[in-house]
Structure 1
């Protein structure tokens, strides 16, 4: 598009640079000749040195054939005069940065429909950031009644693993709030639908009424109550043989590093041959372990665990794990586990010995001496 910008100050320069980068044809009108030269050389936009409220200058800038005219001058009277001239000389869309909201009615009478109230935007963004530090960025909409905002899903959020439809169906979640984007840690953005799964460390982009923002943020960032969630997990971890050398404090630290997942029936957790970077504890539901051809090798029920051998040995998964019903799982990753265990070499050695005994029993061969065996910690 052909775009004419009135004003080459900080806002005008940045706007011109963005539009040029997006392959638009941009002309900047600016009084200061030094600024004109800088924008031309550094930004690559065409510049016209002169007064943006002068009809002859507007003609020189090609206002008659412009698609958009943007006013970002330093004073509202100048922006208003520019907008009125453009309306009389061109069919271009007129956009204005409004510094003083008392000019709102004057801009409307001049036919300007696209106003950006700078102070309102700044105040809304800052007040939102003060009240909701979890919100990464926000933009007021509909005169401030609604907000477009970004929010990162915490590592242990209750909504992690739920679909957009499931979250919207939660009792008390504001139904008017809309999910319009999900950004993964790599920066890839998808437009979500009801089946999109919300994942920990992903960023969601939503629109919500400002009066309902607190509810939305609370729903999306709520984590399990520490005692209620970690106690059953800690008890389950205490049953894992190779974790026996850990103290209660160390076991609780492993539990705190776990990620909680909820998966519907029929979900594949991992398949045979996958690398083993974590092991799982079943908190609710059941998981079926399947061999070649779908043969069922066993069922893991609440309190049980699976996937630990691949984690400890570094070998690929030996079976496929599929949820037999809706499940709640705790996932303990290699790094979280290692950070706790490596704090005590004696514990690591004892765990290595226990694992060696277990593998030996499974294979029917004598257990190797601890000093001859390389534990997974060094891999």
Structure 2
């Protein structure tokens, strides 16, 4: 698109740089000749040195053929004059940075429908950050009563492993809260559907009424309650895992107490091949199948069995996809909790590395092992 920006200050120059990077044709109108030269040389946008409220300058900037006109001048009176001139000479969409909200009605009368109220955006972001430190970012929408926000799901999030449809259908989830995006730890974003699985450590992008933001954050951040007696039972199961044998009874109990107990229906994908691994699973009830890239079953894990342990030790990508074949109860041991127990005793970490190395050597039939990263390296 062809875009004309009125104002080459901090906002104007950053906006121009972003639009040029996205392959738009950008012209910046700026009074300061030094700023014009800098934007032309550093950003690569065409610059016109002059007053954006002067019709001749607008004509020189090609406003007649512009698709979008953006006013980011230092005063609302100038942005209003710019908007009115553009509306009278061009069919371009007009958007303006509004500094003083008392100009809102004047902009409306001038036909400007796309306003960015700078103060409202800053205040909304800061107040939300104060009240909800776990929310990564917010953006007010419309009259400010609706917010777009980002939230990283905790490693023990109760909703982890559930689909978007399941979460939205759960009692207590705010009705006027909508999933619009999911971002994995590598920064890959997807547009969620009802069948999209939510994973611990992923970031969800949501739209919610401001009044329901607290309920939405509490619901998505909630962790399942600890169950009495499960720590000892799980510790006994963990004692059977070869690379955990160097741990003392107290250390195993500590790992078991930190585990997340989760329940998942049949057909739930716990993780996918190639994803970053941070969690080790023990099957308490039910059955889980591990599948290769061709969706062929390579292993079936039954109660007392475990899977995903290499992720716990090395952080390497998952080598298979794990799917529940029946309703399952699982214990999920997070890498950070496990690390806290093991790294308190370096000799234990070394012994575990040795056992893991022997197991990998046996799995490869005595073939030389490829060089692997450290016990907790990435």
In the superposition, the TM-score normalised over structure 1's length comes to: 0.78
* Corresponding residue for residue 74 of structure 1: 74
Distance 1:124 1:204, change over 3 A: same
Establish whether residue 138 from structure 1 lines up as the match of residue 145 from structure 2: no
Tell me if structure 1 keeps the 8 A contact 2:155–2:334.
no
Aligned counterpart, 1:263: 264
Displacement of 1:343: 3.9
SS at match of 2:106: helix
- How far off its partner does 1:241 sit? 3.6
**Pair 1:167–1:60, CA change in 2 (3 A):** same
| Aligned residue number for residue 360 of structure 1 | none
Cα deviation for residue 24 of structure 1 reads 1.0
In structure 2, distance between residues paired with 1:312 and 1:51? 61
Contact kept in structure 2, 1:3 and 1:70, CA below 8 Å:
yes
In structure 2, what is the Cα distance between the partners aligned to 1:6 and 1:174? 41
The match for 1:281 is 282
What does 1:1-379 correspond to in 2, within 5 Å? Answer: 1-225=1-225, 228-229=226-227, 231-242=229-240, 246-247=247-248, 249-266=250-267, 280-283=281-284, 285-287=285-287, 299-300=302-303, 304-307=304-307, 323-332=324-333, 337=338, 340-341=341-342, 343-344=344-345
- Secondary structure at the counterpart of residue 107 of structure 2: helix
Q: Secondary structure at the match of 2:283?
A: strand
Instruction: Find the aligned partners of 1:198 and 1:112 in 2 and give their Cα distance.
Output: 39
Aligned length: 345
What is the CA distance between 1:49 and its match in structure 2? 0.8
Provide the rounded CA distance (Å) in 1 between the counterparts of 2:313 and 2:301. 21
Structure 2 distance, partners of 1:131, 1:210, is: 12
Deviates more, 1:338-347 or 1:76-85: 338-347
Deviation at 1:64, TM superposition (A): 1.1
1:66 CA displacement: 1.0
Unaligned regions of 5+ residues in structure 1, if any? 356-375
Deviation digits for residues 298-322 of structure 1, max 9, x if unmatched?
A: 852xxx34349989999xxxx9986
Instruction: Provide the C-alpha distance between the structure 1 equivalents of 2:109 and 2:313, rounded to a whole number of angstroms.
Output: 74
Distance 1:61-1:289 versus aligned 2 partners, 3 A rule: closer
Measure the CA separation in 2 of the matches of 1:185 and 1:313: 18
Q: Which has the higher helix share?
A: 1
The answer to which of 333-342 and 72-81 deviates more is 333-342
Whether the 8 Å contact between 2:180 and 2:207 is mirrored in structure 1 is: yes
Structure 2 unaligned regions, length at least 5: 291-295, 315-319, 357-373
Deviation larger for 256-265 or 26-35: 256-265
Separation of aligned partners in 1, 2:46 and 2:298 = 70
1:344 deviates by: 4.1
Give the TM-score normalised by structure 2: 0.79
Q: Whole-Å Cα distance in 1 between the matches of residues 311 and 80 of structure 2?
A: 67
Structure 1 residues 38, 255: CA separation in 2 closer, same or farther (over 3 Å shift)? same
Query: Is the 2:158–2:221 contact (alpha carbons within 8 Å) kept by the matching residues of 1?
Result: yes
Q: Point out the structure with max Rg over C-alpha.
A: 1
- Between 175-184 and 235-244, the greater mean CA deviation after superposition: 235-244
Cα deviation digits, residues 113-140 of structure 1 (max 9, x gap) = 1111110111111111111111111110
Alpha-carbon shift at residue 345 of structure 1 (Å): 6.9
CA 1:332–1:378 in structure 2 vs 1: closer, same or farther (change >3 Å)?
A: closer
Superposed CA deviations along residues 241-283 of structure 1, whole A, max 9, x for unmatched, are 4567755642343135535544322557799xxxx99753334
Contact 2:161 2:269 in 1 (8 A): no
- The alpha-carbon distance between structure 1 residues 5 and 307, as it changes in their structure 2 partners (threshold 3 A), is closer
Q: Give the C-alpha shift of residue 34 in structure 1.
A: 0.4
Counterpart contact for 1:3–1:68, Cα < 8 Å: yes
CA distance in 2 between counterparts of 1:157 and 1:342 reads 25
In structure 2, what is the Cα distance between the partners aligned to 1:229 and 1:268? 24
Alignment RMSD: 3.8
Contact 1:4 1:28 in 2 (8 A): yes
